[in-house]
Amino acid sequence: MTALPDWMRPPRAEGWFAEDLDRLPEAPRHTELIDGALVFAMSPQRWWHRHLVTMLTVALMEQAPAGVRVGREMTIKLDQRNRPEPDLLVTTADYEGDRTWFAPEEVQLVVEVVSPESAHRVRTVKLRKYAEAGIRHYWCIEDEDTVPAVHVYELDEPTRSYAPAGIFRHTLQRSLPFEINLDLDKLAPGRSG
């Protein structure tokens, strides 16, 4: 059995806290904190996933109104023991060069693209945690034979849970969190043009 490197040992009996992520330079990219435990993206990302996230980021940036920013590879500090990193997020926060996370109230939309190793976390754990933190809009994108299917959720504020707002294939038109009109077929690899 191989011993864990010192940096992987939690600094306290309760596990890791959100601010600990900023003090772990040895941690791999895309390290998340879920319920006080570090979660590493150990599998290489599939081309479909990476391409879809890139194309969706560009498409949303082109449609976002002034004051709205689209970002990748940023965590959201949901609470002291949870700091997940969605594939993409939409925020109204001001640009700060040394920022490493957003607060839930600064995030308008979270987008997660399902991969085999993240399916359970994305479909259940993150869905629940983002809602409990008050993030108003959540998209979970599934790969349906190389075609993206976007499962859209809106926050039901009294219950702090998400209500399904539709499953979109081929096109997605939404007025929230801003006017969005996407040709989903053009976002997936091998389907553009």
In this structure, which long-range contacts are made by residues 21-28, counting pairs with CB atoms below 8 Å and at least 24 apart in sequence?
21/75, 21/83, 21/100, 21/101, 22/100
pLDDT of amino acid 119: 92
Contact present, 15 and 81 (Cβ < 8 Å): yes
Other C-beta atoms closer than 10 Å to the C-beta of 136 total 19
pLDDT of amino acid 29: 84
Q: What are the pLDDT tens digits along the chain (193 aa)? A: 567 777 788 888 888 999 999 988 888 888 999 999 899 876 667 888 999 999 999 999 999 999 999 999 899 999 999 999 999 999 999 888 889 999 999 999 999 999 988 999 999 999 999 999 999 999 999 999 889 999 999 999 999 999 999 999 999 999 999 999 999 999 988 755 4
**Does the domain spanning 44-186 belong to CATH 3.40.50.2300?**
no
pLDDT of amino acid 47: 87
Q: Model pTM greater than 0.75?
A: yes
Q: Where are the domains of the chain?
A: 44-186
The pair of three-digit structure tokens given for residue 172, joined into one six-digit string: 């997605």
pLDDT of amino acid 191: 57
pLDDT of amino acid 42: 63
Positive or negative, the CA dihedral 71, 61, 64, 66 is positive
